[in-house]
Structure 1
Amino acid sequence: MKQNIYDNPTFFEGYMNLRDSKMTYNDFLEQPAMKDTLPDLKGKRVMDLGCGTGGMSKYCIEMGASAVVGVDISEKMISRALVENKDENITYVCSPIEDLSFQKEPFDLIVSSLAIHYIEDYEFLIRKLHSFLKPGGLLIYSTEHPVVTARKDMKNWWQNAEGDRLHWALDHYREEGKREQHWYVDGVIKYHRTITTLVNGLTDHGFMLEKMLEPLPTKEGIDLIPSLKNEERRPSFLIIRSRKTD
C-alpha cells in the first residue's frame, strides 16, 4: 500500500501549520540529531528520501553537497519545496519511494527523515536503497521508535484524573505490521517493526551498522516545549546510520 496522506487537504493544512510554527519535536529533537549524524558532505551526491518541503535537501547543499535528489510522494510537499527550498543543485522528484528507479550516478549518501515507517515492505526498500548507493555509501534514517508504534491503538500514556502522565504503556511489541491512528484525519497508517527487524534488515542486505541514536531534546527545546522532558522517560525516535559494504 502506497499511502499519500500528505496530499489530503485537511491533513496537509494541519501538518504545515504545525511545522510552520517551528515549535515541534522535529525542530528540537529529531532534526538536530539527524544533522549531527551526517558525514562531511563536501562534494557528495545525496538522496533525500521523503524530502517533504525540502529542508534537509537545502541543508545538505549548504553543507557542501554537490547535488541532491529530493524524493516525496506528495505533490503538495514537492510544490512547496520548489518555492521554499529551490536550488539549482537540487532535483525534486514526486514519486512513491517504492517506485523509484535510478540509472544515473549512484549516491554517496541516502538520508531519510521520518518516512520509512510509512513503507510496508522494509526489506524490499533496503535492497532498493542498497542498489542506489556507491560502495561504502551511507544510509542514515530516522523512524518513530518501536516503543511508540508498538501498541495497537497507539495511545500509550496512562494518566491520572488530573491529566498527569503516570507511565508509558508498551504492548504488542512483537506483533509487527500495520498501525492506524488519528492525526488530523482518521486512518493514518504506519508500520511497526522491532529493533531486531530494523537492524537485521540492514545487515542481511549488505549494510554494516555504524551508529544508533535515541535522541534527547536540545536545551532550547525543553525551555520552549516543556513536554519534551518526557523524552527522558521514553524515546520518540530512533536514528540509524549504516554503511554499504558490498
Structure 2
Amino acid sequence: MKQNIYDNETFFNGYSKLRKSGVTYNDFVEQPAIKSAISNLHGKNILDLGCGTGQFAKYCVANGASKVVGIDISRNMIEQATKENKHEKIEYMCTSIEDLELPNQKFDVIISSLAIHYIDDYPALIEKVNQLLTTNGEFIFSIEHPIVTARKEMNNWFKDEEGNRLHYALDNYQEEGKREQHWYIDGVVKYHRTFSTIINTLIHNGLKLEQIIEPQSIPEGLEQMPKLINEKRRPSFLVIKSRK
C-alpha cells in the first residue's frame, strides 16, 4: 500500500510548522549534503521524486536548471508548491513515485530527498530511475541511515537519569522490511534495508557509484541546534550519488 501521511491534517500541520522554522536536521545536515553531491544543474532536465512543497525544485531553477518535474503523492504538498514555489520551468504532478509514468521523457539528474525509505519495492524504483535517466545522467538520493531504521523500536538512544545520551543501540540490522513509528501520528511506515542491499541494487541496474556521504551538521546548525553534535556519534542520513 502506498503511504500518504502528508495529507493527514495532524501530520501535515506539524511537519509544515517544523520545516517553516528553518531549524531542522534537513536544513543543517541533509540538504547541504545532497546539494554538495550535484555536479551541475545548468541547462539540465531534473526529476524531483518526492518534491514536497517545491523548495528544492525552486533551488534547481535558481541554479540554472532548464526544466524541473516535481512529483509528490500528497495533494497538500503539491497545492502548497504551486502557491509558494511556482515557476514557468517547474511542472508539479500529484502522483506516487510507484505510479509515475513519464513516457518519452529522459532526465539528466534525478534527485530524491528523504522519500525512498517510504517505498516498499526498492528494486522496481531503481529500475524505473534507470529507464528515466539519460546516458551519463546522475541519480542522487538521501534516505534515513540504515543504522537509524534497523532497530524495530526505532527509539534507540539510551540515556542516563539526567537525560544524557549514553549510547546508541543497533539491532535487527539484517532483518529488512517494514518499520513503524510515531511521528506526529501513529503508524508512520518506513522500510529498512541493509547498506549492501541499497548499494547492490544500484549496481545490478547498471548504475556506477560516485559518492557516498554520511553527513554531519554545517557549523550554523551546531550553533542553532547543539544536539546536532550527536551526528558525530551516529549519522541520521545517507546520501548516495550514482551515474548511468
Amino acid of the structure 2 residue aligned with 1:2: K
Task: Please give the residue correspondences for 1:197-216 in structure 2 after superposition, counting only pairs within 5 Å.
Answer: 197-216=197-216
* 1:190 counterpart residue number: 190
Give every structure 1 segment of 4 or more consecutive aligned residues whose post-TM-superposition deviation is greater than 3 Å. none
Structure-2-length-normalised TM-score? 0.99
Separation (CA, whole Å) in 1 of partners of 2:4 and 2:41? 30
Q: CA deviation at 1:104?
A: 3.1
* 1:106 counterpart residue number: 106
SS of the aligned residue for 2:98 comes to: helix
Q: CA deviation at 1:87?
A: 0.3
SS of the aligned residue for 1:198 comes to: helix
Q: CA deviation at 1:39?
A: 1.4
Task: Please give the residue correspondences for 1:1-246 in structure 2 after superposition, counting only pairs within 5 Å.
Answer: 1-244=1-244
Separation (CA, whole Å) in 2 of partners of 1:102 and 1:48? 13
SS of the aligned residue for 1:180 comes to: strand
Amino acid of the structure 1 residue aligned with 2:41: L
Q: CA deviation at 1:40?
A: 1.0
Separation (CA, whole Å) in 2 of partners of 1:170 and 1:55? 34
Separation (CA, whole Å) in 2 of partners of 1:94 and 1:78? 6
Amino acid of the structure 2 residue aligned with 1:108: D
SS of the aligned residue for 1:99 comes to: coil
Separation (CA, whole Å) in 1 of partners of 2:162 and 2:216? 27
Amino acid of the structure 2 residue aligned with 1:14: G
Q: CA deviation at 1:103?
A: 1.2
Separation (CA, whole Å) in 2 of partners of 1:41 and 1:220? 25
Separation (CA, whole Å) in 2 of partners of 1:65 and 1:39? 12
RMSD: 0.6
Q: CA deviation at 1:162?
A: 0.8
Amino acid of the structure 2 residue aligned with 1:151: R
Q: CA deviation at 1:234?
A: 0.6
Amino acid of the structure 2 residue aligned with 1:123: P
Deviation digits for residues 130-158 of structure 1 (CA, Å, limit 9, x no counterpart): 11111111100000000000000101000
Separation (CA, whole Å) in 2 of partners of 1:124 and 1:213? 24
Q: CA deviation at 1:219?
A: 0.5
Q: CA deviation at 1:100?
A: 0.5
- Structure 2 unaligned regions, length at least 5: none
Separation (CA, whole Å) in 1 of partners of 2:99 and 2:45? 20
Separation (CA, whole Å) in 1 of partners of 2:174 and 2:62? 41
Separation (CA, whole Å) in 2 of partners of 1:103 and 1:183? 36
Separation (CA, whole Å) in 1 of partners of 2:38 and 2:228? 23
Q: CA deviation at 1:105?
A: 2.9
Q: CA deviation at 1:216?
A: 0.8
Separation (CA, whole Å) in 1 of partners of 2:62 and 2:189? 33
SS of the aligned residue for 2:3 comes to: coil
Amino acid of the structure 2 residue aligned with 1:44: K
Deviation digits for residues 156-205 of structure 1 (CA, Å, limit 9, x no counterpart): 00001111100000000000000000000000000000000000010001
Amino acid of the structure 2 residue aligned with 1:61: V
Separation (CA, whole Å) in 1 of partners of 2:130 and 2:230? 35
SS of the aligned residue for 2:174 comes to: coil
Identity across the alignment (%): 59
Amino acid of the structure 1 residue aligned with 2:67: A
Structure-1-length-normalised TM-score? 0.98
Separation (CA, whole Å) in 2 of partners of 1:128 and 1:169? 35
- Structure 1 unaligned regions, length at least 5: none
Amino acid of the structure 2 residue aligned with 1:193: R
